[in-house]
Structure 1
């Protein structure tokens, strides 16, 4: 739920909504760590076990990957789904993956515990709606050039399907600096805490 107008920094902030991804409660008192390799490959289960031993509370593993270059690895697709199943059963941790197209959601259901809308897909309104209709928790990553309002409106597309299990993810934005890939906008946390009760992952 988006709260308007902007709440004054001197006033109370809304309480944070709690979203359950398996046993991980995002927005609660405990810190949750979502970790894992960018793309699922043959040794994903080994990586998942190491990630779990390091203290992660949820696994990321994408079988569909949006890439800047068409020559880069695009993901295993449906062939990677058994690896997600194996990682989840071996570690006992929930698994999160990113659909690129609406049809990907049906493939992922039953294999993942939450969906992640990537930065490149934040403006894909049919995908946002389909993710909401899945009934799974949905993590909406901020687009590389998205304003706070645009990001919140993307989350509303999910919520308007009746799915209130929505998490915002600040993953860094594009700036004039090229030394680093993305620049983390820490101020987003403070600003959005006064505008929404959605939990914010960084």
Structure 2
């Protein structure tokens, strides 16, 4: 493997920890990122965001620009979706993450989002990687559809080499010969990358499986394997979702999963709560509660 000058353990033996208002990514915390695949409308987004905050979710996700396989599929609300995410952040106090799909949209996304996501299709969009390396926002870099661990880490190197040290890696499943699941979530990659790199590793069992019934067991496996956090898709009416309904958990299912993960984290000597934020976060939810 070519030497990763900045992403590798030889460069930085200690783990990178990314400080956010609600969590410390890369620490002893198991960080939960959750929300709908796509921002669909303001009422749904804010109502769901309030529920997620109350469950203990740390970061709110939602796509405003959606790169879809078919040009006829829902492509996202664009800037209006970003505005809705910003309103959800104001209502809950949760930092928000959303994907940038084009270097021409980077400035706009940075204006509204707290964390920039690079999707799997753009993992080797080297121009985009260099540009996000020059911004001050944390970046979540998803593994490409067929990328090796080496290629994934070298993609992170592009961002790091431009000066942005706040990079998170996201294992979201790779394309294999299997067709029953949407992708094959590479559990091996989680401890392997933790061994090779100091960067935090997030697992995405929603895209990794593509099936709602498989999300919870694979999420538990990812945490047991050492993932620093999970990215989960949630929707109150998955059958009506404009994107990725079959893999989206219902809020009640997420609540059950989070209870299981708290027990699992405790058994592993980890935790999910940020005590410094717990009370202030509850106060925010109570002030904006939707009845």
TM-score, structure 2 normalization: 0.64
Tell me, yes or no, if the aligned pair for 2:9 and 2:195 is still in contact at 8 Å. Answer: no
Tell me what 1:8 maps to: none
Tell me, yes or no, if the aligned pair for 1:135 and 1:163 is still in contact at 8 Å. Answer: yes
Tell me, yes or no, if the aligned pair for 1:88 and 1:94 is still in contact at 8 Å. Answer: yes
Matches of 1:32 and 1:23, distance apart in 2: 9
Tell me, yes or no, if the aligned pair for 1:60 and 1:97 is still in contact at 8 Å. Answer: yes
Tell me what 2:7 maps to: 2
Q: Quote the offset at 1:49 in angstroms.
A: 1.4
Check 1:59–1:4 CA distance in 2 against 1; reply closer, same or farther (3 A cut): closer
Matches of 2:138 and 2:7, distance apart in 1: 17
Q: Quote the offset at 1:183 in angstroms.
A: 1.1
Matches of 2:125 and 2:154, distance apart in 1: 12
Tell me what 1:164 maps to: 165
Alignment of 1:51-62 (within 5 A): 51-62=52-63
Tell me what 1:135 maps to: 136
Tell me what 2:115 maps to: 114
Matches of 1:22 and 1:117, distance apart in 2: 21
Tell me what 1:38 maps to: 37
Tell me what 2:17 maps to: 18
Tell me, yes or no, if the aligned pair for 1:21 and 1:137 is still in contact at 8 Å. Answer: no
Q: Quote the offset at 1:3 in angstroms.
A: 2.4
Check 1:21–1:124 CA distance in 2 against 1; reply closer, same or farther (3 A cut): farther
Matches of 1:177 and 1:26, distance apart in 2: 32
| 2:111 partner SS | coil
| 1:25 partner SS | strand
* 5+ long unaligned stretches in structure 2: 1-5, 204-291
Q: Quote the offset at 1:106 in angstroms.
A: 0.6
What's the RMSD between the two structures over aligned residues? 1.5
Q: Quote the offset at 1:132 in angstroms.
A: 1.4
| 2:112 partner SS | coil
Matches of 2:29 and 2:78, distance apart in 1: 33
Matches of 1:66 and 1:139, distance apart in 2: 16
| 1:75 partner SS | coil
Tell me what 2:198 maps to: 197
Q: Count residues in correspondence.
A: 195
* 5+ long unaligned stretches in structure 1: 6-12
Task: Confirm or deny that 1:101 pairs with 2:114.
Answer: no
| 1:194 partner SS | helix
Relative to its length, the structure with more helix (as a share) is: 2
Tell me what 1:65 maps to: 66
Q: Quote the offset at 1:191 in angstroms.
A: 1.3
Check 1:4–1:96 CA distance in 2 against 1; reply closer, same or farther (3 A cut): closer
